[in-house]
């Protein structure tokens, strides 16, 4: 189910209010075509009634490609590559681009869930089993990063550690760095870190 809600009631001081349902799509076909069609009809109906452009300032999604693609195509008349470059530029310059544009954020829980599901196939190979916990913890570091600089540092260490074919100095340093970053996080992550051991 794809549900669009009005966040103004969520931000209201009255906790008894629930988010106002704007529209919903209930279908077993939640692919790019189905979601794009749903948004096109919603946009067309709204603009024909109110004579103004429909856009949502922020849409929170479940890290699905279909949702991302459809939202950018219909609401922003944009593609994911130019949108990604724009986000990178904004983060790099620490500026916010004004205008009536829809910005996409991903639910951390859904993002982590999709990532975990995607990695399960890889971890069926016992060669990578000992890296499993560190992989999940490292990805969670990216999700909790608040600056482009920290993302670049964490990502560089992830690439060196997980893509190195042999153990070498950079590999060892990347491993130590990732463990240090994780130890700075809440206690739950530190407890999970104790399960991780360096592998050959």
Number of H helices, E strands in the chain: 8, 4
pLDDT at residue number 73 = 93
pLDDT digits (tens, 9 = 90+) for 13-60: 544 455 556 667 666 677 888 889 988 988 898 888 888 888 888 888
Which of 133, 136, 121, 138 is closest to 181 using CA atoms? 138
pLDDT at 192 over 50: yes
Which segments within 36-180 are labelled E, that is strand?
58-61, 103-106
DSSP state of 19: P
- Give buried/exposed letters for 5-39 (b at 16+ CB in 10 A, else e): beeeeeeeeeeeeeeeeeeebeeeebeeebbbebb
Alpha-carbon distance of 140 to 10, in angstroms, equals 27
pLDDT digits (tens, 9 = 90+) for 159-181: 898 888 888 899 889 989 988 88
pLDDT at 9 over 60: no
Could you tell me the pTM of the whole model? 0.67
């Amino acid at each position: 189910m794809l549900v669009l809600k009005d966040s103004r009631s969520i931000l209201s001081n009255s906790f008894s209010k629930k988010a106002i349902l704007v529209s919903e799509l209930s279908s077993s076909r939640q692919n790019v075509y189905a979601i794009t069609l749903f948004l096109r009809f919603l946009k067309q109906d709204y603009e024909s009634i109110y004579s103004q452009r429909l856009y949502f300032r922020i849409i929170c999604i479940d890290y699905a490609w279909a949702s991302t693609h459809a939202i950018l195509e219909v609401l922003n008349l944009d593609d994911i590559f130019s949108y990604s470059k724009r986000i990178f530029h904004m983060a790099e310059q620490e500026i916010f681009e004004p205008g009536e544009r829809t910005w996409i954020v991903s639910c951390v829980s859904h993002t982590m869930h999709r990532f975990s599901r995607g990695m399960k196939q890889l971890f069926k190979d016992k060669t990578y089993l000992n890296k499993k916990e560190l992989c999940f913890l490292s990805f969670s570091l990216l999700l909790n990063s608040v600056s482009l600089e920290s993302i670049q540092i964490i990502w560089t260490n992830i690439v060196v550690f997980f893509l190195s074919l042999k153990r070498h100095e950079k590999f060892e340093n990347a491993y130590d760095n990732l463990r240090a970053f994780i130890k700075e996080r809440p206690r739950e992550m530190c407890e999970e870190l104790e399960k991780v051991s360096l592998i050959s």
